Amino acid sequence: MNVAVLLFDDFETLDVFGPVEILGRLKDHYQISFYSFLGGLVKNQHGVLIQTENINGLKNGADIFLIPGGYGTRREVDNVLLIDKIREISQLSKFVFTVCTGSALLSRTGLLDGKSATSNKRAFDWVTTQGKNVNWIRKARWTKDEKFYTSAGVSAGMDMTLGFLSDIHGIEFARKVAFEIEYDWAENMEDDIFYEQ
Amino acid sequence: MNVAVLLFDDFETLDVFGPVEILGRLKDHYQISFYSFLGGLVKNQHGVLIQTENINGLKNGADIFLIPGGYGTRREVDNVLLIDKIREISQLSKFVFTVCTGSALLSRTGLLDGKSATSNKRAFDWVTTQGKNVNWIRKARWTKDEKFYTSAGVSAGMDMTLGFLSDIHGIEFARKVAFEIEYDWAENMEDDIFYEQ
Protein backbone atom coordinates (compact mmCIF):
# COMPACT_ATOMS: atom_id res chain seq x y z
CA MET A 1 0.00 0.00 0.00
CA ASN A 2 1.19 3.51 -0.65
CA VAL A 3 0.85 5.94 2.25
CA ALA A 4 0.59 9.65 1.45
CA VAL A 5 1.21 12.02 4.34
CA LEU A 6 -0.11 15.57 4.03
CA LEU A 7 2.16 18.23 5.51
CA PHE A 8 1.61 21.96 6.03
CA ASP A 9 3.57 24.51 8.04
CA ASP A 10 3.19 24.01 11.79
CA PHE A 11 2.07 20.41 11.61
CA GLU A 12 2.46 18.51 14.90
CA THR A 13 5.66 16.45 14.86
CA LEU A 14 4.49 13.22 16.49
CA ASP A 15 1.11 13.22 14.69
CA VAL A 16 3.15 12.50 11.59
CA PHE A 17 6.14 10.51 12.75
CA GLY A 18 4.35 8.14 15.15
CA PRO A 19 2.31 6.55 12.33
CA VAL A 20 5.30 6.87 9.95
CA GLU A 21 7.48 4.87 12.37
CA ILE A 22 4.88 2.10 12.55
CA LEU A 23 4.01 1.83 8.85
CA GLY A 24 7.47 2.76 7.58
CA ARG A 25 9.19 -0.18 9.23
CA LEU A 26 6.87 -2.57 7.36
CA LYS A 27 8.62 -2.00 4.06
CA ASP A 28 7.12 -5.07 2.41
CA HIS A 29 3.62 -3.70 3.00
CA TYR A 30 3.78 0.12 3.10
CA GLN A 31 5.70 2.80 1.20
CA ILE A 32 5.52 6.33 2.57
CA SER A 33 5.64 9.66 0.72
CA PHE A 34 5.19 13.20 2.00
CA TYR A 35 3.16 15.86 0.18
CA SER A 36 2.31 19.52 0.65
CA PHE A 37 0.23 22.03 -1.28
CA LEU A 38 3.21 23.44 -3.18
CA GLY A 39 5.87 20.77 -2.53
CA GLY A 40 9.35 21.62 -1.22
CA LEU A 41 10.45 22.08 2.36
CA VAL A 42 7.77 22.30 5.05
CA LYS A 43 8.64 23.52 8.54
CA ASN A 44 7.12 23.40 11.98
CA GLN A 45 7.61 25.09 15.33
CA HIS A 46 9.74 22.18 16.61
CA GLY A 47 12.55 23.06 14.18
CA VAL A 48 11.69 20.28 11.71
CA LEU A 49 12.30 21.02 8.01
CA ILE A 50 11.10 18.17 5.79
CA GLN A 51 11.14 17.68 2.05
CA THR A 52 7.77 17.09 0.35
CA GLU A 53 6.34 16.49 -3.12
CA ASN A 54 3.64 18.63 -4.71
CA ILE A 55 0.13 17.47 -3.75
CA ASN A 56 -0.83 17.32 -7.44
CA GLY A 57 1.21 14.12 -7.55
CA LEU A 58 -1.68 12.54 -5.62
CA LYS A 59 -4.29 12.95 -8.35
CA ASN A 60 -5.15 9.23 -8.13
CA GLY A 61 -5.43 9.25 -4.34
CA ALA A 62 -3.53 6.87 -2.07
CA ASP A 63 -4.11 3.60 -0.29
CA ILE A 64 -3.76 5.52 2.99
CA PHE A 65 -4.05 9.31 3.12
CA LEU A 66 -2.82 10.65 6.48
CA ILE A 67 -3.81 14.10 7.73
CA PRO A 68 -2.00 15.27 10.88
CA GLY A 69 -2.98 18.04 13.29
CA GLY A 70 -1.02 20.86 14.83
CA TYR A 71 -1.27 24.64 15.17
CA GLY A 72 -1.23 24.91 11.38
CA THR A 73 -4.76 23.45 11.24
CA ARG A 74 -6.14 26.67 12.81
CA ARG A 75 -5.06 28.47 9.66
CA GLU A 76 -5.64 25.71 7.12
CA VAL A 77 -9.33 25.09 7.97
CA ASP A 78 -9.98 28.35 6.11
CA ASN A 79 -7.73 27.49 3.16
CA VAL A 80 -10.45 26.63 0.66
CA LEU A 81 -8.02 25.39 -2.00
CA LEU A 82 -6.38 22.97 0.45
CA ILE A 83 -9.74 21.74 1.78
CA ASP A 84 -10.86 21.09 -1.81
CA LYS A 85 -7.68 19.04 -2.39
CA ILE A 86 -8.21 17.10 0.83
CA ARG A 87 -11.79 16.28 -0.24
CA GLU A 88 -10.69 15.16 -3.71
CA ILE A 89 -7.80 13.00 -2.46
CA SER A 90 -9.84 11.54 0.41
CA GLN A 91 -12.61 10.50 -1.99
CA LEU A 92 -10.06 8.72 -4.19
CA SER A 93 -8.17 7.06 -1.31
CA LYS A 94 -8.84 3.64 0.10
CA PHE A 95 -8.35 4.72 3.73
CA VAL A 96 -8.12 8.16 5.33
CA PHE A 97 -6.38 8.67 8.69
CA THR A 98 -6.52 11.79 10.83
CA VAL A 99 -4.49 12.41 13.97
CA CYS A 100 -5.38 15.01 16.61
CA THR A 101 -6.81 18.18 15.02
CA GLY A 102 -6.35 16.69 11.56
CA SER A 103 -10.01 15.73 11.94
CA ALA A 104 -10.89 19.44 11.86
CA LEU A 105 -9.44 19.65 8.35
CA LEU A 106 -11.21 16.51 7.19
CA SER A 107 -14.54 17.56 8.73
CA ARG A 108 -14.40 20.80 6.74
CA THR A 109 -14.68 18.74 3.54
CA GLY A 110 -18.09 17.41 4.61
CA LEU A 111 -16.91 13.83 4.17
CA LEU A 112 -17.28 13.11 7.90
CA ASP A 113 -20.91 14.27 8.00
CA GLY A 114 -23.02 11.59 9.70
CA LYS A 115 -19.87 9.66 10.62
CA SER A 116 -18.11 9.08 13.94
CA ALA A 117 -14.85 10.88 14.61
CA THR A 118 -12.67 12.09 17.47
CA SER A 119 -9.85 14.56 18.10
CA ASN A 120 -7.45 16.06 20.61
CA LYS A 121 -8.98 16.54 24.06
CA ARG A 122 -7.71 20.07 24.57
CA ALA A 123 -8.93 21.35 21.20
CA PHE A 124 -12.17 19.36 21.17
CA ASP A 125 -14.62 22.23 21.43
CA TRP A 126 -12.96 24.10 18.58
CA VAL A 127 -12.78 20.99 16.40
CA THR A 128 -16.50 20.25 16.75
CA THR A 129 -17.34 23.72 15.40
CA GLN A 130 -15.56 22.75 12.15
CA GLY A 131 -17.99 19.93 11.39
CA LYS A 132 -21.42 20.37 12.95
CA ASN A 133 -22.90 17.25 11.35
CA VAL A 134 -20.16 14.91 12.53
CA ASN A 135 -20.86 12.44 15.35
CA TRP A 136 -18.01 13.63 17.55
CA ILE A 137 -16.96 11.10 20.20
CA ARG A 138 -15.11 12.64 23.11
CA LYS A 139 -14.16 9.41 24.87
CA ALA A 140 -12.14 7.41 22.35
CA ARG A 141 -8.49 6.61 21.75
CA TRP A 142 -9.46 6.35 18.10
CA THR A 143 -12.55 5.81 15.94
CA LYS A 144 -13.20 3.87 12.78
CA ASP A 145 -16.16 4.54 10.49
CA GLU A 146 -15.98 2.89 7.09
CA LYS A 147 -12.71 4.04 5.54
CA PHE A 148 -12.13 6.86 8.01
CA TYR A 149 -9.84 6.36 11.02
CA THR A 150 -9.56 9.35 13.38
CA SER A 151 -7.47 9.51 16.55
CA ALA A 152 -7.36 11.52 19.76
CA GLY A 153 -4.37 13.73 20.58
CA VAL A 154 -0.83 13.29 19.24
CA SER A 155 0.36 9.94 20.69
CA ALA A 156 -3.05 8.36 19.99
CA GLY A 157 -2.14 8.31 16.29
CA MET A 158 0.21 5.45 17.11
CA ASP A 159 -2.52 3.43 18.84
CA MET A 160 -4.83 4.05 15.89
CA THR A 161 -2.20 2.95 13.38
CA LEU A 162 -1.57 -0.23 15.36
CA GLY A 163 -5.36 -0.70 15.43
CA PHE A 164 -5.40 -0.42 11.66
CA LEU A 165 -2.63 -3.04 11.41
CA SER A 166 -4.74 -5.26 13.63
CA ASP A 167 -7.77 -4.79 11.33
CA ILE A 168 -5.74 -5.59 8.21
CA HIS A 169 -3.14 -8.12 9.37
CA GLY A 170 -4.56 -9.45 12.68
CA ILE A 171 -3.91 -8.53 16.29
CA GLU A 172 -0.80 -10.70 16.73
CA PHE A 173 0.84 -8.88 13.83
CA ALA A 174 0.05 -5.51 15.42
CA ARG A 175 1.30 -6.67 18.83
CA LYS A 176 4.57 -7.78 17.28
CA VAL A 177 5.12 -4.33 15.76
CA ALA A 178 4.27 -2.64 19.09
CA PHE A 179 6.80 -4.91 20.80
CA GLU A 180 9.48 -4.14 18.23
CA ILE A 181 9.20 -0.43 18.95
CA GLU A 182 8.66 -1.07 22.70
CA TYR A 183 5.35 0.81 22.58
CA ASP A 184 2.70 0.17 25.23
CA TRP A 185 -0.23 -0.03 22.81
CA ALA A 186 -3.76 0.80 24.03
CA GLU A 187 -5.34 -2.08 22.10
CA ASN A 188 -8.96 -1.11 22.65
CA MET A 189 -10.08 2.02 20.82
CA GLU A 190 -12.54 2.80 23.64
CA ASP A 191 -9.87 2.70 26.37
CA ASP A 192 -9.18 6.38 26.76
CA ILE A 193 -7.31 7.11 29.96
CA PHE A 194 -7.17 10.80 29.12
CA TYR A 195 -10.93 11.26 29.04
CA GLU A 196 -11.29 11.57 32.81
CA GLN A 197 -8.22 13.73 33.36
CA MET B 1 18.52 25.22 26.41
CA ASN B 2 19.60 24.40 22.89
CA VAL B 3 18.97 20.83 21.76
CA ALA B 4 21.19 19.44 18.99
CA VAL B 5 19.90 16.30 17.28
CA LEU B 6 22.43 14.17 15.39
CA LEU B 7 21.08 12.63 12.19
CA PHE B 8 22.66 10.12 9.81
CA ASP B 9 21.15 8.09 6.98
CA ASP B 10 18.83 5.35 8.22
CA PHE B 11 18.19 6.87 11.62
CA GLU B 12 15.08 5.50 13.36
CA THR B 13 12.16 7.91 12.87
CA LEU B 14 10.57 7.85 16.32
CA ASP B 15 13.92 7.82 18.18
CA VAL B 16 14.26 11.37 16.90
CA PHE B 17 10.74 12.72 16.71
CA GLY B 18 9.42 11.39 20.02
CA PRO B 19 11.88 13.49 22.05
CA VAL B 20 11.58 16.34 19.51
CA GLU B 21 7.80 16.44 20.04
CA ILE B 22 8.24 16.66 23.82
CA LEU B 23 11.05 19.23 23.96
CA GLY B 24 9.97 21.13 20.84
CA ARG B 25 6.58 22.08 22.23
CA LEU B 26 8.30 23.77 25.21
CA LYS B 27 9.46 26.68 23.11
CA ASP B 28 10.24 28.88 26.10
CA HIS B 29 12.73 26.30 27.38
CA TYR B 30 14.14 24.36 24.43
CA GLN B 31 15.19 25.20 20.86
CA ILE B 32 15.89 22.30 18.55
CA SER B 33 18.34 22.05 15.65
CA PHE B 34 19.28 19.09 13.47
CA TYR B 35 22.86 18.27 12.46
CA SER B 36 24.62 15.69 10.31
CA PHE B 37 28.23 15.02 9.42
CA LEU B 38 28.06 16.94 6.14
CA GLY B 39 24.83 18.90 6.58
CA GLY B 40 22.07 18.92 3.95
CA LEU B 41 19.24 16.44 3.50
CA VAL B 42 19.39 13.19 5.47
CA LYS B 43 17.10 10.28 4.59
CA ASN B 44 15.88 7.11 6.21
CA GLN B 45 14.14 3.94 5.17
CA HIS B 46 10.75 5.32 6.24
CA GLY B 47 10.80 7.86 3.38
CA VAL B 48 11.76 10.80 5.61
CA LEU B 49 14.02 13.47 4.06
CA ILE B 50 15.03 16.10 6.61
CA GLN B 51 17.19 19.20 6.33
CA THR B 52 20.24 19.41 8.63
CA GLU B 53 23.12 21.75 9.42
CA ASN B 54 26.79 20.75 9.25
CA ILE B 55 27.99 19.18 12.50
CA ASN B 56 30.89 21.63 12.61
CA GLY B 57 28.33 24.20 13.73
CA LEU B 58 28.35 22.36 17.07
CA LYS B 59 31.94 23.13 17.97
CA ASN B 60 30.84 24.52 21.35
CA GLY B 61 28.63 21.53 22.15
CA ALA B 62 24.97 21.82 23.11
CA ASP B 63 22.87 21.90 26.24
CA ILE B 64 21.36 18.60 25.11
CA PHE B 65 23.03 16.44 22.46
CA LEU B 66 20.63 13.72 21.23
CA ILE B 67 21.92 10.60 19.46
CA PRO B 68 19.21 8.37 17.95
CA GLY B 69 19.47 4.75 16.88
CA GLY B 70 18.36 2.92 13.76
CA TYR B 71 19.86 0.64 11.14
CA GLY B 72 22.37 3.36 10.28
CA THR B 73 24.17 2.78 13.58
CA ARG B 74 25.38 -0.61 12.30
CA ARG B 75 27.42 1.30 9.72
CA GLU B 76 28.28 4.39 11.75
CA VAL B 77 29.88 2.54 14.70
CA ASP B 78 32.84 2.00 12.34
CA ASN B 79 32.88 5.60 11.07
CA VAL B 80 35.89 6.82 13.03
CA LEU B 81 35.46 10.44 11.98
CA LEU B 82 31.85 10.50 13.18
CA ILE B 83 32.70 8.76 16.47
CA ASP B 84 35.45 11.36 17.06
CA LYS B 85 32.90 14.14 16.50
CA ILE B 86 30.41 12.47 18.84
CA ARG B 87 33.10 12.24 21.53
CA GLU B 88 34.11 15.87 21.11
CA ILE B 89 30.54 17.23 21.13
CA SER B 90 29.45 14.97 24.00
CA GLN B 91 32.36 16.18 26.15
CA LEU B 92 31.36 19.79 25.52
CA SER B 93 27.62 19.24 26.03
CA LYS B 94 25.74 19.64 29.28
CA PHE B 95 23.57 16.55 28.76
CA VAL B 96 23.82 13.68 26.28
CA PHE B 97 20.76 11.60 25.36
CA THR B 98 20.78 8.34 23.43
CA VAL B 99 17.71 6.47 22.21
CA CYS B 100 17.69 2.79 21.25
CA THR B 101 20.94 1.78 19.50
CA GLY B 102 22.22 5.35 19.75
CA SER B 103 23.98 4.06 22.87
CA ALA B 104 26.14 1.84 20.61
CA LEU B 105 27.51 4.99 18.94
CA LEU B 106 28.10 6.75 22.25
CA SER B 107 29.73 3.69 23.82
CA ARG B 108 32.23 3.59 20.94
CA THR B 109 33.60 6.94 22.16
CA GLY B 110 34.61 5.41 25.50
CA LEU B 111 32.64 8.06 27.39
CA LEU B 112 30.23 5.44 28.78
CA ASP B 113 33.02 3.28 30.22
CA GLY B 114 32.22 2.51 33.85
CA LYS B 115 28.79 4.09 33.48
CA SER B 116 25.29 2.60 33.35
CA ALA B 117 23.46 2.51 30.03
CA THR B 118 20.73 0.64 28.21
CA SER B 119 19.51 0.05 24.66
CA ASN B 120 16.96 -1.61 22.42
CA LYS B 121 15.97 -5.10 23.61
CA ARG B 122 16.27 -6.77 20.23
CA ALA B 123 19.73 -5.38 19.47
CA PHE B 124 21.05 -5.66 23.01
CA ASP B 125 23.67 -8.35 22.45
CA TRP B 126 25.14 -6.46 19.51
CA VAL B 127 25.14 -3.14 21.37
CA THR B 128 27.05 -4.57 24.34
CA THR B 129 29.88 -5.65 22.03
CA GLN B 130 30.37 -1.99 21.11
CA GLY B 131 31.29 -0.96 24.66
CA LYS B 132 32.72 -3.78 26.75
CA ASN B 133 33.43 -1.58 29.79
CA VAL B 134 29.92 -0.15 30.00
CA ASN B 135 27.58 -1.30 32.78
CA TRP B 136 24.80 -2.40 30.43
CA ILE B 137 21.40 -2.67 32.12
CA ARG B 138 18.98 -4.92 30.27
CA LYS B 139 15.91 -4.20 32.39
CA ALA B 140 15.37 -0.46 32.21
CA ARG B 141 13.03 1.91 30.41
CA TRP B 142 15.87 4.39 30.62
CA THR B 143 19.05 5.04 32.62
CA LYS B 144 20.68 8.17 33.98
CA ASP B 145 24.33 8.34 34.97
CA GLU B 146 25.70 11.82 35.54
CA LYS B 147 25.00 13.74 32.33
CA PHE B 148 24.21 10.67 30.24
CA TYR B 149 20.60 9.60 29.67
CA THR B 150 20.15 6.40 27.62
CA SER B 151 16.84 4.78 26.70
CA ALA B 152 15.57 1.37 25.65
CA GLY B 153 13.99 0.85 22.22
CA VAL B 154 12.34 3.53 20.09
CA SER B 155 9.27 4.63 22.11
CA ALA B 156 11.30 4.58 25.35
CA GLY B 157 13.03 7.77 24.19
CA MET B 158 9.79 9.58 25.01
CA ASP B 159 9.65 8.18 28.55
CA MET B 160 13.29 9.16 29.05
CA THR B 161 12.70 12.69 27.79
CA LEU B 162 9.73 13.07 30.13
CA GLY B 163 11.97 11.70 32.91
CA PHE B 164 14.51 14.40 32.08
CA LEU B 165 11.78 17.05 32.27
CA SER B 166 10.84 15.65 35.65
CA ASP B 167 14.46 15.91 36.84
CA ILE B 168 14.79 19.50 35.64
CA HIS B 169 11.31 20.98 36.10
CA GLY B 170 9.60 18.57 38.54
CA ILE B 171 7.26 15.64 38.03
CA GLU B 172 4.06 17.69 37.77
CA PHE B 173 5.55 19.64 34.86
CA ALA B 174 6.46 16.39 33.09
CA ARG B 175 3.01 14.91 33.74
CA LYS B 176 1.39 18.00 32.25
CA VAL B 177 3.42 17.60 29.04
CA ALA B 178 2.55 13.88 28.86
CA PHE B 179 -1.11 14.80 29.25
CA GLU B 180 -0.93 17.45 26.54
CA ILE B 181 0.32 14.89 24.03
CA GLU B 182 -1.95 12.16 25.49
CA TYR B 183 1.06 9.94 26.13
CA ASP B 184 0.84 7.17 28.74
CA TRP B 185 4.20 7.90 30.36
CA ALA B 186 6.09 5.10 32.18
CA GLU B 187 7.16 7.39 35.03
CA ASN B 188 9.59 4.99 36.69
CA MET B 189 12.78 4.31 34.74
CA GLU B 190 12.92 0.77 36.16
CA ASP B 191 9.39 -0.14 35.00
CA ASP B 192 10.21 -2.04 31.84
CA ILE B 193 7.24 -4.07 30.64
CA PHE B 194 9.22 -5.25 27.62
CA TYR B 195 11.93 -6.99 29.63
CA GLU B 196 9.88 -10.14 30.26
CA GLN B 197 8.42 -10.40 26.77
Over the stretch A60-92, which tens digit does the pLDDT of each residue have? Answer: 999 999 999 999 999 999 999 999 999 999 999
A152 close contact with B: CB closer than 8 A = yes
Residue pLDDT tens, chain B, 197 long: 999 999 999 999 999 999 999 999 999 999 999 999 999 999 999 999 999 999 999 999 999 999 999 999 999 999 999 999 999 999 999 999 999 999 999 999 999 999 999 999 999 999 999 999 999 999 999 999 999 999 999 999 999 999 999 999 999 999 999 999 999 999 999 999 998 76
Residue A113 has what pLDDT? 98
Q: To the nearest whole angstrom, how far is the Cα of B46 from the nearest Cα of chain A?
A: 4
Residues from chain B that touch A45, judged by Cβ atoms under 8 A, are 24-25, 27
Where residue A196 falls among pLDDT bands split at 50, 70, 90? confident
**Do the Cβ atoms of A182 and B49 come within 8 Å?**
no
pLDDT at A153 over 90: yes
Residue B37 has what pLDDT? 97
Give pLDDT tens digits for A15-68. 999 999 999 999 999 999 999 999 999 999 999 999 999 999 999 999 999 999
Give pLDDT tens digits for A137-149. 999 999 999 999 9
For residues B135 and B142, what is the distance between their CA atoms, to the nearest angstrom?
A: 13
Give pLDDT tens digits for B72-98. 999 999 999 999 999 999 999 999 999
Candidates B21, B47, B193; nearest CB to A32: B47
Q: Is the ipTM of this complex over 0.90?
A: yes
Mutate to test the interface with A, among B181, B185, B193 (most CBs of A within 10 A): B181
Where residue A11 falls among pLDDT bands split at 50, 70, 90? very high
Residue A164 has what pLDDT? 98
